[in-house]
């Protein structure tokens, strides 16, 4: 059966639902996307290994050639949820509008796999001196369980890895980490007319927030990286819940916050500093304080500016490597010994948005760039 055209591959990938979401009612399997890619790549002579990560969630590692070096072209097979009523077209149907291919996953980032296949086809007549690996992961948009599973397995991949997230074809060599954590305070409720009858969880949380703001100020004075638009670490109090009535002493209070550390900041040291501040607050207010992650952190990522991959990407794109605020799977691939960058054709500004699209003018430059990377790492 002949391989579908580039546009037909795009359309098939977009038509295969693969939403990843922390809300079970919206979460979907990515198996259909993985099977499509494995079928096409298998027909092209790639060895395809489908690995189950959790129930209904799969990674695909397709390889051609063998050896210790080579190139990994990586991306995630899932998408964010979507509000169909906010789209001008069917989000699961590829639509061409004003020089753009519109559809869920066109930019972020199932469409990248079709461009990889387009790039590799004319090179298959050559002998691959080093392996080319094509990696499609699951659940990047929620828990990053696919990339985490690879890192935990510890199997070396290649010498260099390029993740095709939307960067406007500009190489990215660093991004901040992401911690989303929760603090729960258990006090004792009582009648508001007599403070001795209870222990206010809300007042204790006020003290906790003051301590966290102090830590934030300390970290922002200590750590700075001018390559980022926001050059310091950030800490955002995103959500707080506590109490139930004005005439009751608040017995329980919960705070959820988001911490974005810079490369070079150690996640466990940050959490240890927070725990150290919580102990005296708990003692002073005579309350119980629990502190835990909402989900495992995404570590900060940095690839050295003088790394071969960074220099090759800068030469091929004509752009200096930059830093971005959003998190990716890059630190997990880096843990497996790959020099890693993030470089893809989409624009982050239209990712996670109704009407997500890929500019058609980016297709040929992306295919040419991927071809040049494959030649450099696999054919020479």
Q: Which residues are identified as catalytic?
A: 78, 140
- Tokens representing residue 78 in the block: 């899932």
Does residue 162 contact residue 71 with C-beta atoms inside 8 Å? yes
Residues 150, 336: Cα–Cα separation, whole Å: 8
Q: Is the peptide bond before 109 cis (omega within 30 degrees of 0)?
A: yes
In degrees, rounded to 5, the angle at the alpha carbon of residue 367 between the alpha carbons of residues 361 and 372 is 135
Does residue 332 contact residue 181 with C-beta atoms inside 8 Å? no
Phi, psi of 345 (to 5 degrees): -85, -20
Residues 200-231 as b or e (16 or more Cβ within 10 Å = b): bbbbbbebbeebbeebbeebeeeeebebbeee
DSSP H helical segments within the chain, as ranges?
A: 6-15, 31-43, 111-120, 145-153, 201-222, 267-285, 308-317, 330-335, 363-374
Does residue 43 contact residue 102 with C-beta atoms inside 8 Å? no
Exposed, middle or buried, 188 (CB in 10 Å: 0-12/13-18/19+)? middle
Percentages helix, strand, coil for the chain (3-state, rounded to 5) are: 35, 25, 40
């Amino acid at each position: 059966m002949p391989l579908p055209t580039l546009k037909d591959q795009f359309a098939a990938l977009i038509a295969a639902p693969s939403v990843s979401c922390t809300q079970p009612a919206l979460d979907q399997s990515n198996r259909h996307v993985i099977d499509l890619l494995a079928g096409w790549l298998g027909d092209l002579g790639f060895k395809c290994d489908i690995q189950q990560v959790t129930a209904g969630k799969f990674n695909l590692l397709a390889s051609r050639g063998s050896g210790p070096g080579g190139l990994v072209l990586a991306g995630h097979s899932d998408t964010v949820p979507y509000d169909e009523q906010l789209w001008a077209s069917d989000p699961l149907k590829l639509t061409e509008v004003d020089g753009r291919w519109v559809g869920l996953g066109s930019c972020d980032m199932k469409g990248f796999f079709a461009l990889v296949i387009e790039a590799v086809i004319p090179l298959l007549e050559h002998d691959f001196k080093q392996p080319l690996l094509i990696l499609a992961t699951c659940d990047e948009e929620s828990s990053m369980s696919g990339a985490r599973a690879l890192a935990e397995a510890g199997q070396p991949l290649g010498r260099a890895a390029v993740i095709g997230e939307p960067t406007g074809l500009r190489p990215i060599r660093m991004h901040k980490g992401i911690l989303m954590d929760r603090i729960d305070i258990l006090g004792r409720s009582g009648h508001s007319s007599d403070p001795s009858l209870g222990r206010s969880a809300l007042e204790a949380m006020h003290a906790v927030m003051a301590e966290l703001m102090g830590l934030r100020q300390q970290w922002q004075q200590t750590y700075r990286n001018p390559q980022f638009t926001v050059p310091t670490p950030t800490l955002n109090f995103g959500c707080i819940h506590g109490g139930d009535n004005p005439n009751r002493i608040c017995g329980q209070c919960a705070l959820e916050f988001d911490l974005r550390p810079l490369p070079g900041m150690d996640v466990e040291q940050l959490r240890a500093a927070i725990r150290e501040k919580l102990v005296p607050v708990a003692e002073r207010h005579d309350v119980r304080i629990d502190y835990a992650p909402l989900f495992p952190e995404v570590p900060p990522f940095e690839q050295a500016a003088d790394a071969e991959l960074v220099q090759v990407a800068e030469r091929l794109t004509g752009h200096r490597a930059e830093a971005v605020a959003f998190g990716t799977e890059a630190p997990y691939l880096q843990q497996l010994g790959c020099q890693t960058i993030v470089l893809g054709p989409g624009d982050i500004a239209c990712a996670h948005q109704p009407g997500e699209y890929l500019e058609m003018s980016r297709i040929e430059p992306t295919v040419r760039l991927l071809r040049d990377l494959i030649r450099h790492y696999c054919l020479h």
